């Protein structure tokens, strides 16, 4: 069985409050399963009645700013009030169930933004067009007569204005546009700007959910230690010593090169692993040093 590898920041689950959801249809198929969420046009942008905008992020935040950067791209095209933007993460399981509606969750350095920038921008732009179309229909004017800015839709000809939250239900019933119009980057006011990161507060006040915080019924956790020298192996370890420690369920060899302790909590597993007597066969690379590598390369 292949072990599941997940980074500490790689798994974050968010719950959506009752709201109307907006998204987009782009030339390739990203539509969700019909009837999964009746109020949803698509999966990317949620607008609540109080004009709060929840932007769904399908890439992992690992300290490089992907979460805020992607939210900026969507918010820019949506023309929403950035001060009212929040984010949430859909789960990989939900993405699979809904026919990969959020596409790839893979995040490597800056690729999270580079590989999804175009279609998340289209998501924000399509949602903006749908919101404007809903307001125009209510006023009996053409969408071209209306504009959106800071979550407010206006029609100068009529002198009318409304907010995203007020037209949310109507916009959810609008047919997504086939011709999606993106803003010229020279007109950006949110995307690419040095704004405060959206993930900072949660990390400071302890509300951020990390992979290590995930709890499932009957779930055990493990801590693993590999040979300190590349190419080395596990020679032996004293399993009995670890099994005497609180919460420990099992000590296992991981291939030829590592050993892991499985316990009721990660802290129990890690504490036991640190105290576990392990003998290593360091192998031929034990004599490798910076000097020997430099000599080899020269």
Residue 10 has pLDDT above 70, yes or no: no
Question: Where among 165, 180, 205 does a domain terminate?
Answer: 205
How many domains are contained in the chain? 2
What is the predicted pLDDT for the residue at 288? 86
What SS3 class is residue 203? helix
Supply the CATH number for residue 249's domain: 3.90.1170.50
Whether 187 shows a pLDDT value over 70: the answer reads yes
Length of the chain: 298
Domain with 190 in it: what CATH number?
3.30.365.10
10 within some domain: no
Q: What is the pLDDT of residue 31?
A: 39
Mean pLDDT to the nearest integer, 237-243: 90
Sorted by sequence, the CB contacts under 8 Å of residue 238 that are 6+ apart come out as 276, 277
Please determine, for residue 28, whether its predicted confidence score (pLDDT) is greater than 70.
Answer: no
Residue 32 burial (C-beta neighbours within 10 Å; 0-12, 13-18, 19+): buried
Residue with tokens 């499985």: 262
What pLDDT sits at residue 83?
96
Which residues are CB-neighbours of 159 under 8 A, at least 6 positions away? none
Token pair 């119009």 in the structure block, residue: 181
Nearest one of 242, 267, 244, 245 to 253, comparing CA atoms:
242
| Shared-domain flag, residues 263 and 197 | no
Residue 224 lies in domain: 218-287
**Does residue 46 lie within any of the structural domains?**
yes
Q: Mean of the per-residue pLDDT values for the chain? A: 84
pLDDT beyond 80 at 19: no
267-288 confidence digits (pLDDT tens): 999 999 999 999 999 988 888 8
Express each pLDDT in 248-265 by its tens digit. 999 999 999 999 999 999
Residue 76 and residue 181 in one domain: yes
pLDDT at position 22: 43
Whole-number pLDDT of residue 255: 93
**Which residues, listed in sequence order, are joined to residue 279 by a DSSP beta bridge?**
236
- pLDDT confidence of residue 40: 64
- 76 in any annotated domain: yes
User: With 80 as the cut, is the pLDDT of residue 35 above it?
Assistant: no
DSSP tag of 17: P
| CA terminus-to-terminus distance, the chain | 43
Same domain? For 120 and 56 the reply is: yes
Is residue 29 within 8 Å of 102, Cβ to Cβ? Answer: no
Please determine, for residue 64, whether its predicted confidence score (pLDDT) is greater than 70: yes
| 146-175: pLDDT as tens digits | 999 999 999 999 999 999 999 988 888 888
Same domain, 256 and 139: no
pLDDT (0 to 100) of residue 21 = 42
Q: Check residues 111 and 28 and name the one with the higher pLDDT.
A: 111
């Amino acid at each position: 069985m292949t072990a599941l590898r997940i980074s500490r920041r790689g798994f974050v689950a968010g719950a959506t409050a009752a709201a109307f959801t907006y998204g987009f249809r782009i030339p390739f198929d990203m539509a969700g399963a019909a009837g999964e969420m009746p109020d949803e046009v698509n999966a990317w942008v949620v607008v609540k009645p109080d004009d709060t905008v929840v932007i769904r992020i399908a890439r992992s935040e690992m300290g490089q700013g992907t979460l805020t950067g992607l939210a900026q791209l969507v918010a820019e095209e949506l023309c929403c009030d950035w001060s009212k933007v929040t984010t949430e993460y859909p789960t990989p399981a939900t993405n699979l169930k809904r026919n990969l509606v959020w596409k790839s969750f893979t995040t490597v350095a800056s690729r999270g933004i580079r590989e999804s920038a175009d279609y998340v921008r289209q998501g924000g732009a399509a949602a903006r067009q749908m919101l404007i179309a809903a307001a125009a229909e209510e006023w009996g004017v053409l969408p071209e007569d209306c504009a959106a800015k800071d979550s407010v839709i206006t029609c100068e000809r009529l002198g009318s204005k409304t907010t995203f939250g007020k037209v949310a239900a109507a916009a959810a019933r609008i047919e997504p546009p086939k011709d999606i119009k993106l803003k010229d980057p020279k007109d950006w006011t949110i995307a690419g700007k040095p704004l405060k990161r959206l993930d900072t507060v949660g990390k400071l006040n302890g509300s951020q959910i990390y992979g290590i915080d995930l709890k499932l019924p009957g779930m055990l956790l493990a801590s693993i230690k590999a040979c300190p020298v590349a190419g080395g192996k596990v020679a032996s370890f004293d399993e009995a010593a670890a099994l005497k420690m609180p919460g420990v369920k099992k000590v296992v060899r991981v291939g030829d090169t590592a050993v892991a302790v499985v316990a009721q909590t990660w802290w129990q597993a890690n504490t036991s692993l640190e105290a576990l007597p392990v003998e290593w066969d360091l192998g031929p690379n034990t004599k490798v040093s910076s000097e020997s590598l430099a000599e080899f390369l020269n």
